[in-house]
Amino acid sequence: MTQESAAHPPGPSDPLPDLTAEQLDTLHRIGRRWSRVTRPPQEWRDALPVDPNVGDYPARHQIRLPRYERFVTVSELGGKARADQVSKVTALTSTSTGRVGSRVRRVLLGPALKSTALVRERMRKLVALPVLSSDALSSVAYGPEALLTILVLAGAAGLALSLPIALTIMVMMLAVGLSYRQTIRAYPNGGGSYIVTSDNLGRVPGLVAAGGLMVDYVLTVAVSIAAGVAAVTSAIPSLGGATVPLGLGAIALLLAGNLRGVRQAGILFAAPTYLFVLSVAGVIIAGLVEAARQGFPPPSQPQVDATTGVTLFLIMRAFTSGATAMTGIEAISNAVPAFKPVEWRNARTSLTWMVATLLALFGGIMALVLLTGTLPRPNETVLSQLARNSFGSGLMYVVVQASTAAILLLAANTAYNDFPRVLSLLARDHHAPRPFMRMGDRLAYSNGILLLTIAAALIFVAFDGRTTTLIPLYAVGVFLAFTLSQSGMVVHWWRSRGRHWRKSLAFNALGACMCAVVFVTAAIAKFTAGAWVALVAVALFVLLTLRIRAHYDEVGRALRLRPQSATLPGNTVPTPLCPPKEPPPEPRPAAGTEDTWEEEEAEETPEEIHHLSVVAVETLDLANIRALAYAASLRQPVLAVHLSPTDEEAERMTRYWRHWGNHLPLEVVVCPYRTIIAPLVDYVEALHEQRPDLTITVILPELATSRRWHRLLHDRMAFRLRHSLRERPKIVVTTVPFHV
């Protein structure tokens, strides 16, 4: 995997991988065998009853487009010269099945976008910084509070520890920030944890890192929304009971916005971050000035009862809870290509600014907490208390709370960008179901967005939308990913030994150690409180992705053009493509076991396929006669089968058949068990055993009803039969629809 290809998530137009030389050779040899039996290409084409080139077709069922459509119009394509065999779709149509759904979709999400509409935006530093740092900066809204919530359990003695713990966290922020500066330089195309880890440490560590990231993206959404709702309910306490509905509303908003394909675009996303930074800075400065004016009085001793002593375990818990303020610090290194050139240099500068801002805000808030003796309260956030303390409850306070809620929504939105992107990378590497690689008609990874929404909403509801209960799950995954990613960078520098490699290696090693400490501490200290959920989720994720990969590998092996497959049936005499007159080949011994399927099914040229059509006839009505006519018109051997509940009914059917003219061979199967599927499947299998070389096409009439509920009124014979026969080799099921 080259770094170049590894970095970009799969684009909307990425083709399937090229055929290898060996495969091309095999293809050519298969083709040579076709040419012995088929007509010349031009003759085939002339025999077509239609002109296959339907040109640029503008979709009859096209939905009326909204006024501000954003994609290329039909006329623009008209002038372009096109290859001979190419028709072109000029606008996306709705399929009939989803006509109403499609209309609703267009109204909500806007018209379909062409792949060419995907322009990767380049951002100036002043725009990129706020856009990419919302996740990291917003975490000061809950990090300090999470730290205090644990320490307060040990009363005043516990709170006395908040200063050293906060300083430790700030040192770690600095170290991790420096570490990621190295990643930016090494991965100028974007170095997410999954990419860096699988590049340098191998597949399974990469998946572990990806699992940690995925779990944490889900938790980022849940925690950010929970903290954002807390900012709102702190300001408007009467909303306190509506936490869960408010949060679900916010998640729905994110879902709709992201399905519509909202990007992290410019001013709109930059404004709340700047506003948040400025207003929190205002809170800190106003608070410090006030404290200075009073000559830094010792804080009024907080009235708290210690429910536990100061233990190492408590310190570990407090430390890891506070370390959640570090989440999001990797965002810039993921998104290096989004910067204007020189990308990596701009990204590094931005990272430095971001870490500096983060340190300032975190340190300022902690200082203010200590100076004012603020304590966490169940109904009001610490930040809200500080803001009230600095500004009273006026306009400025409202601005602080509103910008806090806004930046937390943006932080959740960051997860909405990253989760589907990582999932698409996994899908590209065959570790996740292929649909996650597909961009929807709005050029968003719709399936990934949906999955994230469902997971985040479930978690949010299960934990009642309370930040304090979610925090223990959080950060475990992130620090696992950080640790692996930084360790990967150490390996990278050791291997590459480019310029400044020693310095970079040292920084990354320091970062890796720091992150490892936090991860281990968090896993131990918060294990019973919830971290085990995250760890189990990561483990399941790794197992699942490995099994998915194994399946795709198996399918790929089965489907790949192989040299031996082309030579395998080469000893059969080619037969020209005209009605079969030669005696059919001797039946091979019955196979039946699954091991021989692959060989049996190796039918790569028309000459290797010997047909038998079996028409299941229920009665002689128009639908069944059409199915018989369809079968007979294919000019292959046809056998009609009728399942009869009694001998009398069998006799009657035979009589009707003779009356009709006995035009096709009829076999009546008497089955006194009032069931159709099982005996028919067995009958077809019995035929297959007689002649395993035959391809048996089972032809069924099917009523196509116009309304959905009408389908309940008919046996879904075709559906059930197809389902029952799908495991059998060399059996093709065809339904001839009859419209009522």
Q: Write out the binding residues for a second copy, residues 585-614 only, by CB under 8 A.
A: 594, 597-598, 601-612
Q: Which of 7, 94, 182, 537 binds a second copy (CB under 8 A)?
A: 94
Binders in 716-735 for a second copy, by CB under 8 A: 722-724, 726-727, 729, 731-735
The residue count for binding a second copy (CB under 8 A) is 170
Between 373 and 606, name the residue whose CB sits nearer to a second copy: 606
Q: For residue 391, report the phi and psi dihedrals to the nearest 5 degrees.
A: -115, 0
Nearest distance, CB of residue 607 and a second copy, angstroms: 8
Site for a second copy in 504-563 (CB under 8 A): 548, 551-552, 554-555, 558-562
| Bond prior to 277 in cis (omega within 30° of 0) | no
Q: How far apart are CA 653 and CA 360, in angstroms?
A: 89
Residue 202 or 672: the one with the smaller Cβ distance to a second copy is: 672
The 124-153 contact track toward a second copy, x by CB under 8 A, reads: ------------------------------
Tokens of 166: 């906060």
Q: Which residues are registered as beta bridge partners of 154?
A: none
Of residues 437-466, those binding a second copy (CB under 8 A): 438-441, 443
Binding to a second copy (CB under 8 A) within 644-683 occurs at 645-652, 654, 656, 659-675, 677-679, 681-683
Give me the least distance between CB of 192 and a second copy, in Å please.
Answer: 23
Residues 397-436 that bind a second copy (CB under 8 A): 433-435
Identify which of 88, 48, 379 has the alpha carbon closest to the alpha carbon of residue 239: 379
Distance (Å) of CA 501 to CA 7, 285, 591: 21, 41, 62
How far apart are CB 52 and a second copy at their closest, in Å?
4
564 touches a second copy by CB under 8 A: no
What do you get for the CA distance between the two ends of the chain, in Å?
55
Shortest distance (Å) from residue 570 CB to a second copy: 15
Smallest gap, in angstroms, from Cβ of residue 7 to a second copy? 21
Nearest one of 108, 136, 132 to 258, comparing CA atoms: 108
Q: CA 657, CA 662: separation in Å to the nearest integer?
A: 5
**In the complex with a second copy, which residue's Cβ is closer, 281 or 625?**
625
**CA separation for the pair 483, 212 (Å, rounded):** 10
Q: Whose Cβ is closer to a second copy: residue 156's or residue 677's? A: 677
Listed ranges 129-137, 181-189, 404-412, 619-627: which one lies at the site for a second copy (CB under 8 A): 619-627
Part of the chain binding a second copy (CB under 8 A), chosen from 131-139, 245-253, 509-517, 622-630: 622-630
3-state secondary structure of 611: strand
694 bridge partner residues: 610
For the beta carbon of residue 275, count every other beta carbon within 10 angstroms.
18
Q: How far is the CB of 70 from a second copy (least distance, A)?
A: 13
88 near a second copy (CB under 8 A): yes
The reply to whether 622 sits near a second copy by the rule CB under 8 A is yes
E-strand stretches of 519-630 = 610-616
What does the per-residue mask of binding to a second copy show for 681-720, with x meaning CB under 8 A? Answer: xxx-xxx--xx--xx-x-----xxxx---x-xxxx-----
User: Do residues 331 and 132 touch, judged by C-beta distance below 8 A?
Assistant: yes
Contacts of 295 (CB under 8 A, 6+ apart): none
Contact by Cβ (8 Å): 472, 318? no
Of the listed pieces 112-120, 215-223, 245-253, 401-409, which binds a second copy according to CB under 8 A? 112-120
- Quote the least distance from Cβ 542 to a second copy, whole Å: 17
Alpha helix positions (H), 463-531: 467-470, 476-496, 501-525
C-alpha 423/C-alpha 467 separation (Å) is: 26
Chain residues 12-41 in contact with a second copy, contact rule CB under 8 A = 12-13, 15-16, 18-19, 24, 27-28, 30-32, 34-35, 38, 41
Query: Which tokens belong to 355?
Result: 């870490």
CB of 327 to a second copy, least distance (A): 31
Helices (H), 152-192: 155-159, 162-186
Tokens of 260: 């519509």
The Cα 454–Cα 738 span in angstroms is: 40
Instruction: State yes or no: residue 738 binds a second copy (CB under 8 A).
Output: yes
Residue among 293, 579, 593, 595 that touches a second copy (CB under 8 A): 579
**What is the DSSP secondary structure assignment for residue 77, as one 8-state letter?**
H
x-or-dash string of contact with a second copy, 36-75, rule CB under 8 A: --x--x--xx-xxxxxxxx--x-xxx--------------
Beta bridge partners of 643: 669
